[in-house]
A and B are shown apart, each in its own frame.
Chain A
Amino acid sequence: MPRAGSRYEVVIGLEVHTQLRTRSKLFSEAPVTFGEKPNHAVTPYCLALPGTLPVLNARAVELAIRAGLATHCTVHTHSVFARKNYFYPDLPKGYQISQYEEPICTGGWLEIEVPAAGGEEPQRRRIGITRIHLEEDAGKSIHDESLFGEGTLVDLNRAGVPLLEIVSEPDLRSPEEAGAYLRALRELLRAIEVSEADMEKGQFRCDANVSIRPEGSRELGTRTELKNLNSFRFVEEAIAAEVGRQAEILDAGGRVQQATLLYDPDRRRTRVMRVKENADDYRYFPDPDLVPLRIDPARIEAIRAELPELPEARRARFEAELGLLPREAAALVRNRSLAEYFEAAARAHGDPRAVARFLLRDLLAALGDRQPDETALPPEGLARLLRLVDDGRLTARSARDLLPELLERGGDPEALMRSRGLEAVSDAGALGGVVEEVLREHPGEVASFRAGEQKLLNFLMGQVMRRTRGKADPASVRELLLRRLGQGG
């Protein structure tokens, strides 16, 4: 009997809500804030006071167009706002203004990098984007424990904040692919400055539709919806847990019920929040307060022309023009700040591959949570540091050791190398003396090496390196040692 997971194919579609980078709300001039005291960023419209009317934010429309173009969608010159009707205390109008039958963007795709097993080059796949539409956020309900049994607090600062909902096709086939899609989407939205997509501030939220079907089947299984997944890790964990839950049901001969679920990260289990008897009945209809949104095709083309280079185009250019390996290029473009830093350093240094290797291996480790442009080491400084290594004046290890201080305090790498006394010892004269000393103090090891114990060379090298405190160039030490050991006496 094969393992449960292996007999089923997993089918995942994601709905992402991302907060647009605007200063005011979608339909009112209320400021967009974060961490403000309750109801300190509301206007009469946010409170749904009688007589108020929505007026659409031009910037939000522009950002939606930008997101559509960057995901290869068709941007429609005519789209319609609709009311999604439901009752909840943090939704004062009793409906959310969204787009339903005629969204602003449809039919695009996002390229993702699918993680590959065991050191192989990652695969790239296009994930379909069904639609992108504009909508307003709801307010916040605060279930304060001190008020337990007495009531719920409602803060409408967030009510009306502009969101984009980005709906993928059910093209994702594993929790890891779902994670890769979300990371690529978030990076793209940040690169084109559509959203800051800060998950901790709730600016990038995800719901996942998950179903499984027997391997080889073309029919879709019954899907469940996982709500409010607010970190990449939770998304992957929650989907994996839900796939396990559905597989258990099918293995036992049962049927998956259409339902909305929440993920409990502490118990690593999904929990049914409500079962859907029918599809949700939101009674969408075109908002009578808002006539259709019309966009001049020339405006769309102007926005297209202003788009910055997208991560996937940058990746292709890094491979084709700078000669990076696919793995290196993909790792660098994942982070816009890192990609730009790399390009500047590569230009200043002249050998993009050497710069890429150092960045990905040594710089990333030294950076920790910082972005390279937040440090005191400009890309030109990094290029100077690497040139010292190229010239044999600094060992790769010493270059790595200097990084923390350069990132923290900046300054000239060469001056720092000197002040720390790390200039590499590679000339035969200076090293020769150390080599002689080591050979003299370890006659036994020298004799054994000459008798055929080759691995003792490493021991002797280690002794020389220790005595030079790592400043010696390993290649030179090796060469000197072999030359001396090859001779008698």
Chain B
Amino acid sequence: MSVDAPGITLEDLRRLADLARLELGDGEATALAADLARILGFVRQLQELDTAGVPPTAHVMELATPLREDEPDAPLPPEEAIRNAPAHEGTAFLVPQVLDSDEA
């Protein structure tokens, strides 16, 4: 099977899906690869603009982040904090066992 869309190989897609913890069927993979290729195409179109002399920005808004005083506020009642959890042990969340200690 091959993906013809330029810029995204099936291997790239599998790796992205793995990083995003997505399980993809073959049909989905092909469709997604085509979508992603189109998205890359849109971005490539933007690259046609001459941006020499335009300073790079991380945001489009010319704003500075507002700051908050270092004043703690009352935390959530713990029973509220865990209310939506499918499982808990005391006030701790209980999640499926983490097998390796692979930490970032």
Contact = CB atoms under 8 A, between A and B. Distances in A.
A151 B58 contact: no
Interface string B76-104: 10100110000101111111111011111
A294 B102 CA distance: 35
A292 B62 CA distance: 9
Interface in B62-80: 63-73, 75-76, 78
A174 interface: no
B59 interface: yes
Query: How many residues of B sit at the interface, in one of the four size bands?
Result: 35 or more
Contacts of A228: 103
B91 A37 contact: yes
A61 B58 contact: no
A23 B72 CA distance: 6
A435 to B, nearest CB: 70
A150 B97 contact: yes
Contacts of A156: 81, 93
A375 interface: no
Nearest to B89: A153
Given A39-B91, A149-B97, A56 B75 contact: no
A259 interface: no
Name the residue among B19, B59, B70 with the largest chain A CB count within 10 angstroms.
B70
B44 interface: no
Interface stretch (A42-50, A315-323, A336-344, A345-353): A42-50
A31 B64 contact: no
A43 B77 CA distance: 9
Interface in A56-86: 56-61, 80-81, 84-86
Nearest to B104: A86
Contact of B104 (A30, A38, A144, A282): A282
Interface stretch (A273-281, A439-447, A481-489): A273-281
Query: How many residues of A sit at the interface, in one of the four size bands?
Result: 35 or more
A88 B73 contact: no
Nearest to B67: A58
Interface in A118-176: 141-144, 147-156
Interface in B37-73: 58-59, 61, 63-73
B72 A142 contact: no
Given A102-B58, A147-B89, A293 B82 contact: no
A150 B99 CA distance: 11
A22 interface: yes
Contacts of A294: 64-65
A226 to B, nearest CB: 13
Contacts of B58: 80, 102, 286, 291-292
A364 interface: no
Contacts, number: 148
Given A152-B98, A291-B59, A40 B68 contact: no
B58 to A, nearest CB: 4
Nearest to A149: B97
A291 B75 contact: no
A155 B66 CA distance: 29
Nearest to B19: A281
A398 interface: no
Interface string A96-109: 10000010000000
A118 to B, nearest CB: 41
A43 B89 contact: no
A55 B64 contact: no
Contacts of A31: 72-73, 75
A325 B71 CA distance: 46
Name the residue among B19, B63, B101, B104 with the largest chain A CB count within 10 angstroms.
B104
B67 to A, nearest CB: 4
Contacts of A142: 92
A61 B76 contact: no
Contacts of B69: 58-59
Contacts of A335: none
A156 B82 CA distance: 11
A60 B65 CA distance: 14
B78 A24 contact: no
A39 B65 contact: no
Contact of A42 (B70, B81, B95, B100): B81
B61 A58 contact: no
A326 to B, nearest CB: 40
Interface string A184-227: 00000000000000000000000000000000000000000001
8 contacts: A24-B72, A30-B75, A37-B91, A55-B66, A80-B58, A151-B94, A282-B104, A294-B64
Interface of B: 15, 19, 21, 58-59, 61, 63-73, 75-76, 78, 81-82, 87, 89-98, 100-104
Given A38-B92, A291-B63, 17 more contacts: A23-B71, A29-B71, A30-B75, A37-B91, A41-B75, A57-B70, A58-B68, A143-B98, A144-B89, A151-B94, A151-B96, A151-B97, A153-B95, A273-B101, A291-B58, A291-B64, A293-B64
5 closest cross-chain pairs (CB), A and B: A59-B70, A294-B64, A31-B72, A286-B58, A29-B73
